[in-house]
Structure 1
Amino acid sequence: MNNKGFTTRLIHADRLINQPEFGAVHQSTNNSVLFEFKQAQELVDVFQGKQMGHVYSRSSSSSTVALQNILNHLEGGVGAITFATGMAAITATMLSLFKAGDHLILSRFLFGNTRSLSETLESLGIELSFVDVTDIKQVEKALQGNTKAVYLETIANPVTQVADLRAIGQWCQANHLLFMIDTTMTPPNLFDAKSVLASLTITSLTKYIAGHGNVLGGAVVDCGLYDWTKFDNILPIYRGTEPKMWGLTQIRKRGLRDMGATLAPESAHAISIGLETLVLRTQRTCDNALRLANYLQSHTKISAVYYPGLPQHPQHLLAKQLFRGFGGVLSLDLVEGIDPIAFLDQLKLVICATHLGDTRTLALPVASTIYFECSAEQRKEMGVNDNMIRMSIGIEDFEDIVADFEQAFASL
């Protein structure tokens, strides 16, 4: 099936990769918590990783494995693990792979919740350096003898800075560092993580993958490019499998099994169904976002628009090289004197909500919501202004989105 187009592979993945019973085109939802073994030795072998199988649905089930297989197929990796949320995927990965005394290089522009998690990591003795990942030289300067990994987002949320992914990937490979990329803003139809030598991709399935604002989920995919024999944090008990699986094995055992943020079978099924229209949704979303960004940048009541598709964006040329679309998130700064909360209250079609990747267009005031816990100095470092509004563009008719903006501006 690898010789087919992306959309064709995507919509037929469940029936061809997972081969559901009775000729079904979707894997059935399996709600069983426990699994029977006719021979006790089989249970022992599955527990010890000598044989494939399910022992307890907190660790795996046919429903979650079916989704994992699809996600891994789309990324061209060696395996995937699903979680209850995107933040669970990030947290489980961080706490499974790193320990006190390790050093991580993180993007200065990390999303608010991830930035909040970094404070927890520091409290556990993990050293962190926050750098401008649009500049490879800044990343290189942060290298220490105890550095284990670089973690960043493809496109930052909400100011849309684009990381120098290829340069950082090559540098990580040369220094035997894990290169972990949050691809939530750029699903696999828009971005090939292996092309920039990513070690692990982490994503919120809640957003563009599922796409309809009705289910939570997260995932980690191992792209198969990192040599885990050079990562000394893998515990001896997890080195019994093939080296390429060491990382995922430790994340599954220490992160999923021990921490328990399991994706529910019904959620896995809902995500699989939403995933089938990924290309159609993101094509429309990217088109609407680019058109809206061009409209907004010339508006007299807007002082700045942040979107990688605009030629004046600092990383526009880089984004053109990396992505097959500029994404569906844009942010804007209202001119001085216009209250972002008052403006948002005038919108009738656009929904005021804290989410992105939905079929509907959403907006929120950034500084007072998703970045409220960050200090003014931290917000300044990230490029977040007090009058900034973040928008997640949906698939509505473009003319209706513009009309809503026009009436909102007119009302002020």
Structure 2
Amino acid sequence: MSANGFTTEVIHSDRRQGSECGAVHQPLHPSTEYAFSDARELAAVFQGKAGFSYARQGTPTTAALEKQVTKMEKGTASVSFASGMAALSAIFLTLLKAGDHLISSKYIFGNTNSLFLTLQGFGVEVTLVDATDVEQVKAARKANTRMVFTETIANPGTQIADLQGIGEWCAQEGLLYVLDNTLSTPCLLTGRSVGAGLVMNSLSKYIAGHGQALGGMVTDTGLFDWTDYPNIADVYRQGNPQSWGLTQIKKKGLRDMGATLSSDAAHRISVGAETLPLRMQKACDNANRLAHFLSQHPRVTAVKYPGLSSHPQHARAQQLFNGQFGALLAVELAADIDVFDFLNRLRVLALATHLGDTRSLTLPVAHTIYYEMGAEQRALMGIADNLLRISVGIEDYADLEGDFSQALA
């Protein structure tokens, strides 16, 4: 990483990698196959030499994006995928096997929870704990524990795990620490700074930023010793041990499973990433102001946002996130408000199931993204029927506050 700041590095990433004809953006490579003038060179690429053979395992366009995100995370290397869930699936399905044990925060995205049910069907044991307390993570340790997983900011409840404490403990125990950095992004926090070995970013969200491309990225921070990890296949225990984990994830997740990021999506994400710091600053500022406004509104029962002094992990958020608190909040309306009627009164916010967009988005949590979980599990997670998830965008703040004011009136 050079001495330049985060924004400068992201903006100039493409041209500093070297581009055709002096273009400031890397070109789009749509080709599915790559020909060689020397058959030995073709074989060498198949046997591990850097290069491109078939687009299912990556293209020059996805490689350029991988370098860009690796710099953001201050890691050693990255592998891109078709979506954030594809990236998480690749981590868990390629690095865990039947009989292994995974410790995870219980405050996780609903689709990730569903993925854990799939893992359990394959014989992987999963224990969900309150990761805001590192002692609960430690207490879940078993002889067969291989991995610890958490999100930086939970979706939608905004709980913040003891990221630093978990990282220190995993280092002591030799456990692989996997961090989902989607909601904080490398702008607010890098996985390396809290000791994570692998970091996943759903590129579809803030990094792309404009709601027009899906993608996911797995970044190796260089902190984990792969020589001690028993699930690396012999065929991938070649060359620099630092690359073993990502090599297996790439070969299994891309070559075998085909969860490939397209060059077109990679190009869109790379261009969108250039304004990530500006968008995050504005969205975080909007979210902080909106959370404080709604927390004082008589028709709102509760607001969950790390920027509020009432948030259980407010002090932790202040320490971790560069003075910002994210752009996601959860809002519980008064019990006598019909959540659907309220949402239908909104005029600025879009009713949509995404987050990290330039536009502010909202949805009723219990009836949508957590519906399959069932009422009992939702109650355990503190998800009320009147809970809204709000992904705050970069609109003029006065318009956001005005929209909620008129809908709550």
TM-score tier after normalising by the smaller chain length: over 0.9
1:197 is aligned to 2:195: yes
Structure 1 residue 381 displacement after superposition: 2.3
The number of residue pairs the alignment matches comes to 408
Tell me the equivalent position of 2:328: 329
Superposition map of 1:305-324 within 5 A? 305-324=303-322
Tell me the equivalent position of 1:119: 117
1: CA distance between counterparts of 2:277 and 2:43? Answer: 42
Counterpart amino acid of residue 263 in structure 1:
L
Superposition map of 1:209-288 within 5 A? 209-288=207-286
Q: Deviations over 1:92-140 (max 9, x none)?
A: 1110110000000011011001101111000000000000000011000
Counterpart amino acid of residue 221 in structure 1:
T
Contact 1:303/1:334 (<8 A) preserved: yes
**CA-based RMSD:** 0.8
Tell me the equivalent position of 1:184: 182
Superposition map of 1:4-153 within 5 A? 4-16=4-16, 18-49=17-48, 51-153=49-151
Contact 1:355/1:362 (<8 A) preserved: yes
Q: Which runs of 4+ in 1 moved over 6 A?
A: none
Aligned to 2:57, the other structure's residue is in SS state coil
2: CA distance between counterparts of 1:246 and 1:32? Answer: 27
Counterpart amino acid of residue 271 in structure 1:
I
Tell me the equivalent position of 1:298: 296
Structure 1 residue 369 displacement after superposition: 0.2
Aligned to 2:56, the other structure's residue is in SS state coil
1: CA distance between counterparts of 2:150 and 2:190? Answer: 15
2: CA distance between counterparts of 1:132 and 1:244? Answer: 31
Counterpart amino acid of residue 141 in structure 1:
A
2: CA distance between counterparts of 1:380 and 1:243? Answer: 44
2: CA distance between counterparts of 1:203 and 1:75? Answer: 10
Counterpart amino acid of residue 281 in structure 1:
R
2: CA distance between counterparts of 1:96 and 1:102? Answer: 12
Structure 1 residue 380 displacement after superposition: 2.0
Structure 1 residue 300 displacement after superposition: 0.5
Counterpart amino acid of residue 146 in structure 1:
N
Aligned to 1:273, the other structure's residue is in SS state helix
Tell me the equivalent position of 1:341: 340
1: CA distance between counterparts of 2:328 and 2:24? Answer: 33
Contact 2:176/2:197 (<8 A) preserved: yes
Counterpart amino acid of residue 310 in structure 1:
L
Q: Deviations over 1:256-302 (max 9, x none)?
A: 11100111101100000000000100000000000000000000000
Q: TM-score, normalised by structure 1?
A: 0.98
Contact 1:105/1:139 (<8 A) preserved: yes
Contact 2:134/2:166 (<8 A) preserved: yes
2: CA distance between counterparts of 1:168 and 1:140? Answer: 8
Tell me the equivalent position of 2:360: 361
Residue identity (%): 52
Contact 2:74/2:190 (<8 A) preserved: no
Structure 1 residue 33 displacement after superposition: 0.7
1: CA distance between counterparts of 2:71 and 2:405? Answer: 43
1: CA distance between counterparts of 2:305 and 2:130? Answer: 18
Structure 1 residue 192 displacement after superposition: 2.2
Tell me the equivalent position of 2:393: 394
Structure 1 residue 241 displacement after superposition: 2.1
Q: Deviations over 1:316-357 (max 9, x none)?
A: 000111112111000111111111111101001111100000
Tell me the equivalent position of 2:161: 163
1: CA distance between counterparts of 2:127 and 2:350? Answer: 36
Structure 1 residue 78 displacement after superposition: 1.1
Query: Structure 2: which 5+ residue stretches go unaligned?
Result: none
Q: TM-score, normalised by structure 2?
A: 0.99
Contact 2:179/2:199 (<8 A) preserved: yes
2: CA distance between counterparts of 1:386 and 1:140? Answer: 33
Contact 1:108/1:381 (<8 A) preserved: no
2: CA distance between counterparts of 1:121 and 1:276? Answer: 36
Counterpart amino acid of residue 369 in structure 1:
T
